[in-house]
Amino acid sequence: MKIVFFGPPGSGKGTQAKLISESIHISHLSTGDILRQKLEDGDNLSIKLKEIMSSGNLVSDELLNKIITDKLKSKDCVNGFILDGYPRTLTQAKFLISFFNSNNLKLDFIFDFKIDFKIVEDRIILRSQKEKRSDDNIDVIKIRIEKYTAETYPVSQLFAKEFSKIYSILDASQEISKIQKELIKILKKA
Ligand code: AMP
């Protein structure tokens, strides 16, 4: 099963991706988590990444495309995967579509998490107190939402058009269990 999740930061897509990936035994590819792990390396790349990520900006398409290609080709993904946080730009989207075409892969589902940005801001401020992420403060949240609107929202619209048969919108303001139920209901139609 190959799934893509779209949605603004704080829309809960990471939580849902984790639950689904555990229940159907597929990989959860969160590019944010992968990059946060890289920050631990303490090398030159990690210093650069920290600067970009803590400002709310996006890391280069080149690095992300490489990270995702390596993951998708690895044995972790033989049963399938959920892409959470990728593709985030039109360049990444085109790269992914061409990777799929040249490897004879087909997406099964696309879920787009819709939520009011005010709810997102409140959620992220709460999360910052729990997880102590350096990109979870109000100024950075605003930049991350701007990046989402300018760069990622157009990608979700492209996928909605190109893959309309497998594209579903979820109301992400609902409780975690309610969203989970809706997701499973749609996945069972496969
Ligand atoms: P996330 O946990 O998905 O909100 O990602 C945290 C940060 O990692 C983002 O604000 C970006 O700086 C970076 N990041 C994650 N995924 C991508 C991506 N696909 N393209 C560029 N930057 C990314």
**pLDDT tens track for 16-51:** 999 999 999 999 999 999 999 999 999 999 999 999
- CA 148 – ligand 1 centroid, Å: 10
In the predicted model, is pLDDT for residue 84 greater than 90? yes
Average pLDDT over residues 49-74: 97
pLDDT band per the 50, 70, 90 thresholds, residue 138: confident
In the predicted model, is pLDDT for residue 15 greater than 90? yes
- CA distance from start to end of the chain: 9
112: part of which helix (H) or strand (E)?
strand 109-114
What does the mean pLDDT of the chain come to? 95
pLDDT band per the 50, 70, 90 thresholds, residue 170: very high
Contacts of 158 (CB under 8 A, 6+ apart): 90, 93
- Provide, rounded to the nearest whole percent, the portion of the chain with pLDDT above 70: 100
Atom of ligand 1 nearest to the CA of 33: 2
pTM above 0.85, yes or no: yes
Average pLDDT over residues 92-109: 97
Best mutation site among 4, 18, 49, 88 for ligand 1 pocket (most ligand atoms within 8 Å of CB): 88
Contacts of 141 (CB under 8 A, 6+ apart): 9, 10, 56, 120, 121, 124, 125
